Amino acid sequence: MIVVKVGGSTGIDYDALCEDVAALWREGQRLVLVHGGSAETNRVAEALGHPPKFVTSPSGYTSRFTDRETLEIFEMVYCGKQNKGLVERLQRLGVNAVGLSGLDGRLFEGKHKDKVRSVEGGKVKVLRGDHTGTVERVNTGLLTLLLESGYLPVLTPPGVSFEGVAINVDGDRAAAAVAVALQAEALLLLSNVPGLLRDFPDEASLIPEIPAGEVESYLGFARDRMKKKVLGAAEAVQGGVKRVVFGDARVRQPVRAALSGRGTVVR
């Protein structure tokens, strides 16, 4: 079992990704696909007159402030355009893909965080009305049911709170939770960079390998949202996933490339 998370940043080649996924699936590789949609969500939010707002916590993590309207735009893009775009590509390639959000069947369940602390102009402010959370429980039973019946699950945030409210969860960390829940042999986090760069955006500064026990000490190289990927990788290896790869989703055969060790390999 492998879990592949493909981001939603600009430059990602979704056709190449789906061709690779479909070929591997036909060869018998069990797989779950998780995806993002941040760039398109920003574009649609601007177009709808509700521009995105990002907050940086005192510990340096950046996240989308998700009020109810943002959550609805987020769902339109993640559960709509992005999810169905991937499912359609896979269906055209003969793979019976099923697209679900973390709300469906309580696939990604966690605690609703209504408040977020944000550093603005050197001061810490508390913002209320946030719909975010962290995945604490994965509905493994539903995933197994689908996989055992021959369906390829294509999963996306949002998740669901214990009270049944939609919450924006980080896609990389959700993918890590799925990989741990399914005891996957590998988690591939594919985005629009070659891997974790020591000196972002210099692509020649790729870090080829990170020992599993030292992932968190590499957080310092990651800026803004890359930090969540590094955190997700740490959570996956701590949860028993043997290998995590930060790979490039702009290339042909991006899944095979990451599986063969191209990118940043954590093990």
Ligand X SMILES: Nc1ncnc2c1ncn2[C@@H]1O[C@H](COP(=O)(O)OP(=O)(O)OP(=O)(O)O)[C@@H](O)[C@H]1O
The reply to whether 196 sits near ligand X by the rule CB under 6 A is yes
**In the stretch 112-151, what mask flags binding to ligand X with x, by CB under 6 A?**
----------------------------------------
Output the smallest distance, CB 90 to ligand X, in A.
18
DSSP string, 213-249: GGGGGGGGG--TTHHHHHHHHHHHHHTT-SEEEEEES
The reply to whether 234 sits near ligand X by the rule CB under 6 A is no
Of the pair 110, 195, the CB lying nearest ligand X is at: 195
Output the smallest distance, CB 27 to ligand X, in A.
26
The reply to whether 192 sits near ligand X by the rule CB under 6 A is yes
| Residue type at position 121 | G
Output the smallest distance, CB 82 to ligand X, in A.
8
**Using CA atoms, how far apart are residues 81 and 79, in angstroms rounded to an integer?**
7
To the question of whether residue 168 is assigned a binding role by annotation, the answer is: yes
To the question of whether residue 83 is assigned a binding role by annotation, the answer is: no
Residues 168/66, Cβ–Cβ less than 8 Å = yes
Torsion angle, alpha carbons of 243, 23, 86, 155, to 10: -40
Range 1-60, binding ligand X (CB under 6 A): 7-9, 36-38
Output the smallest distance, CB 10 to ligand X, in A.
8
CA 252 to chain centre: 20
The reply to whether 159 sits near ligand X by the rule CB under 6 A is no
Q: What six digits make up the tokens of 91?
A: 């269906």
Range 209-228, binding ligand X (CB under 6 A): 221-226
Site residues for ligand X per CB under 6 A: 7-9, 36-38, 171, 191-193, 196-197, 200, 221-226
